[in-house]
Amino acid sequence: MKDKPSAFPAAAVAASRSETHCLRLAGPSKPKMYMPKLGRLVALRFESVAHVPVLFDGQGRYCREHNRYLRERAIGEWSPKAGSTPLAGGEVPAQRTIETVARHLLVFIEWCEAKAQDWRTLTYKDGVLSFQCDMHKGRWSPSGKALQGSTANHRTDEVTSFLKWAAHNKLRPPFTVAYRASTRRIRSGQSAQESSVELNSRVGRIKTSKSASVAIVAQLPKPEAVRDWLAAVRAKRGYAKHMACRFILESGARREETVSLNQGQIPSMEELRALKSDGRQAGAVTLTHTKGGRPRTIQVNIDFLIELREWIDGRRMKLRMLWTKRTRTPASHLLFLSDARDHEGTPISAETLYKCFRDVKPRPPRWHPHFGRHTYACFTVLYTLEHEAKAAGRTMSADWVMMRGSWCMKTLQQQLGHLSETTTDLYLRWLVTAAGIAEVAQGWHEFLAGKTKSGAAS
């Protein structure tokens, strides 16, 4: 059934608040975001929006318009780019995306209350840009700190979309935004020719550094720090979360892609042993829940896949049994299930995975799942080049690294799911810098697996 989001009944609202868990810990006067219990809304025949967060303001009042916007965003009836035009192919945002949108709106609600502003009368120039500037300059933010331009931009982009939607639905006066057209060139790596895409960006967005991510990649952790952190995850959060974190570091998959993996997507033990007996170093895993919605097949180290399959066919089966015994419901077919006491068999969420990166210590500086992807990319290619140079009896000069690294990056582009070479080009810069210290990257998988005691090349 495709329900009409605007007709959300009072019973569903009550279910959203009284039978939910709060996703944000806040004071008594802070707006709050809740996640409805799936069962109640499905029973009310609102399954298409049962995953959508629900917002309440600082007075505990249901934010009717904001929540309606979230539901229409969730089922594809409104999008920032297409407006009320249905999305092509019936595509809808992922649940994680909707939760991020909800958090952006929550910040906007809090700002309106703190500044005594009514969103119905805000203009773009004097209202929305003030919201953006207050966060960026540190005059106001939920954390009390100045935010990066990119963060302030993303939140303001969503607020702009919400106010355009409200004006379109005559919930407020017309809302006018000025846009600036530009052209972006894209190199796909599959052709010598470049393609381009037309972009419209709102006037007043904060200018951000195009090379900021270069500095991030330049601060890659030492392999020892990553291995110590993985050991701490296993000791403090359990083997299941340890393996989920390792999957990111062994494959470069995104955390949402990782937690969406199904047990059937991992090759069987018979298939893996056959590949290993043939001398294969990696096995294929197809990711179906990807950022762009297009499945892609990646290569994962064969020894790690065998270890993962042993867990699937062994301890994970017990976790599924404990879940069924405790809840009297069928166990999930998702791959990574928690082994925490009293939570056995619970699917590991993207948020839980993020907390493993952020909270478990000792950990590398600036450590989070996306930085783990950077780490995988750079050290994997560096080891590949080191191995090739050693076999050829040559040194890893900057020119040689740039030449051979470009070929490696084209292969890595598909592994990481990058649509253009813009991101992977950042890794080349790091590789050239690291060419003089290639000995630290001896065998990325072997190091993670604890098969070597140092990063020095043997």
Q: With contact defined as beta carbons under 8 Å apart, do 211 and 203 qualify? A: no
Cα(437)–Cα(441) distance, integer angstroms: 8
Domain positions in the chain: 5-168, 179-211, 217-448
- Three-state SS sequence of 224-278: HHHHHHHHHHHHHHCHHHHHHHHHHHHHCCCHHHHHCCEHHHCCCHHHHHHHHHC
Query: What does the DSSP assignment read for 32-92?
Result: EEEEE-HHHHHHTT-GGGTTS-EEE-TTS-B-HHHHHHHHHHHTTS-BTTTBTSPPGGG--
Task: Tell me yes or no: is domain 217-448 CATH 1.10.443.
Answer: yes
**458 residues of the chain, pLDDT tens digit each:** 344 554 565 555 555 544 344 444 344 579 999 988 766 666 666 777 888 999 999 999 999 999 999 999 999 899 998 888 865 555 678 777 898 999 999 999 999 999 999 999 999 999 999 999 999 999 999 888 999 898 999 999 999 999 999 999 999 999 999 998 876 555 444 444 455 556 788 999 998 765 555 566 667 888 899 999 999 999 999 999 999 999 999 999 999 999 999 999 999 999 999 999 999 999 999 999 887 778 999 999 999 999 999 999 999 999 999 999 999 999 999 999 999 999 999 999 988 999 999 999 999 988 999 889 888 988 888 888 888 888 888 877 767 777 777 777 777 788 888 755 666 666 766 766 665 444 444 456 777 877 765 444 44
Q: With contact defined as beta carbons under 8 Å apart, do 354 and 368 qualify? A: yes
